[in-house]
Structure 1
């Protein structure tokens, strides 16, 4: 008569499946957080932004991008992205000696990777009307200075952790008309403070992101998503009001942008402490900022 199966044998397969599943979940978590290593290839030349600057010539003055032309210059875009594998402030601090050097690098890196991701999916993405970029926050990773970084890791583990500057949220390209737009110039360490302020003024000056309607202020959902980051930068800290941050980037007059909201408008509507207004966070416009789109821009 055969012996009954061992109790250990009975649970061996389920236990193995559990271990494999746990390892898969752990690896996925490390992948998303950018904690997996990557090979660092030898660089054929010093780090520079020449190729990325060439690509940014296809950004229009209104922030729309000629993605078709960017695609025709894939060699320049891919060449810059390839160089990121060899250099970063993490593995080559000698190349990025100041915090401005480092922050400019990470902002340019993030935006270049988003551009490459869009070009890879273009023109299909032209007809997508949803927050498609979120999928890539959890998916694709690029080798950057010895690490494999996702867009999520770049934003949350690097930029938000290493640089306490909420203006970065106005500078990160989301490939959406309702999000921060690209400028025609890359971020440069020597002009970085002014460039970040310009990015804030562009974002706040867009009626899709900030609009007054009586005692109601319609704000981009970006201000809700990163509310704690904005409040932390205020003198009052988390006890402050996100409208104080908005106020700082509104213009005093609308000479260059007729019909815009000004600081005085916000003061009159919301009171000197900016606490009398009702804030409504508006749905985001996730249409691709494609210069070749047939739909008229708002």
Structure 2
């Protein structure tokens, strides 16, 4: 009888957990569809009524997902990062750049997954540290600057995360404004300079980029990095 009771309560807890994460992904998807368009965020409208954003972050504060559930964990924290970025901008809005907000990346904390985390913590300790082979994170984590790959008008979800990661990486690495090729020279986003180790685990930066490119970059191409655009990715 005791074992039956334990199993019963385990199922209740599991169902409640799954339901909670499912609600989060559903509401996050509705939020991004409402306030994101063409890679930009309508911070002004969110500022007028931040209730849906605050509700999502409240939900995210109490959800606890094991990193062993890799896709669910990754999707949750990718969304959490993008939502926290939006929250940080909205709190200071109007603002021209995330860099104009003191401690935006390394001091301001958000209660997510039961922990107090900065944006840098989310990127480096939660995602990159736990999944060091997954460099595609850099094409879905959006820091509010126009130099980032564009934010999408949908939530990242466990069932289609692989497809979403692949799609956004292919899109970024084939974008002539993001990867600037001219003859035997190529200018890369500073993302490749800052996180070089993520892109060179199995070869060079060019090797990594060419994995996703339709038109391959010559192997001997001279690589340089163009300045990052920190202008706010806002809908004006």
The answer to whether the superposition gives a TM-score over 0.5 is: yes
Q: Determine the structure 2 residue equivalent to 1:29.
A: none
> Per-residue deviation at 1:69?
2.2
Q: Determine the structure 1 residue equivalent to 2:170.
A: 201
Residues 285 and 77 of structure 1: is their aligned pair in 2 closer, same or farther, counting only changes over 3 Å? Answer: same
If asked which structure has higher relative contact order (CA below 8 Å, sep 6+), I would say: 2
Residue 286 (1) aligns with residue 230 (2): yes
Structure 2 residue runs of 5 or longer lacking an equivalent are 1-16
- Structure 1 counterpart SS, 2:200: helix
Alignment partner of 2:211 out of 228, 248, 257: 248
Residue 230 (1) aligns with residue 199 (2): yes
Q: Determine the structure 1 residue equivalent to 2:108.
A: 140
For residues 229-276 of structure 1, the C-alpha deviation after alignment (integer angstroms, 9 at most, x for no partner) is 1112xxxx2xx210111112223xxxxxxxxxx23xx2xxx2xxx1x1
- Checking the alignment, whether the CA contact within 8 Å between 2:173 and 2:212 is kept in structure 1 is yes
> Per-residue deviation at 1:73?
3.9
- Checking the alignment, whether the CA contact within 8 Å between 1:133 and 1:175 is kept in structure 2 is no
For residues 157-198 of structure 1, the C-alpha deviation after alignment (integer angstroms, 9 at most, x for no partner) is 110111121100111011011112211111011100110011
- Checking the alignment, whether the CA contact within 8 Å between 1:51 and 1:79 is kept in structure 2 is no
> Per-residue deviation at 1:97?
6.5
For residues 198-256 of structure 1, the C-alpha deviation after alignment (integer angstroms, 9 at most, x for no partner) is 11122223333201111110100101111111112xxxx2xx210111112223xxxxx
Structure 1 residue runs of 5 or longer lacking an equivalent are 1-42, 252-261, 293-298
Q: Determine the structure 1 residue equivalent to 2:14.
A: none
Q: How many residues get paired?
A: 215
Query: Which of 1 and 2 has greater Rg?
Result: 1
> Per-residue deviation at 1:104?
0.4
Q: Distance in 1 between matches of 2:89 and 2:55?
A: 16
- Structure 2 counterpart SS, 1:280: strand
Normalised TM-score (structure 1): 0.67
Alignment partner of 1:119 out of 74, 85, 90: 90
Q: Distance in 1 between matches of 2:72 and 2:50?
A: 25
Q: Distance in 1 between matches of 2:125 and 2:192?
A: 20
Normalised TM-score (structure 2): 0.84
Alignment partner of 1:99 out of 45, 67, 70: 70
Q: Determine the structure 1 residue equivalent to 2:36.
A: 59
Q: Distance in 2 between matches of 1:73 and 1:205?
A: 36
> Per-residue deviation at 1:51?
2.9
> Displaced runs of 4+ in structure 1, greater than 3 A?
130-134
Residues 186 and 133 of structure 1: is their aligned pair in 2 closer, same or farther, counting only changes over 3 Å? Answer: farther
- Checking the alignment, whether the CA contact within 8 Å between 1:178 and 1:208 is kept in structure 2 is no
- Checking the alignment, whether the CA contact within 8 Å between 2:20 and 2:63 is kept in structure 1 is no
> Per-residue deviation at 1:138?
1.7
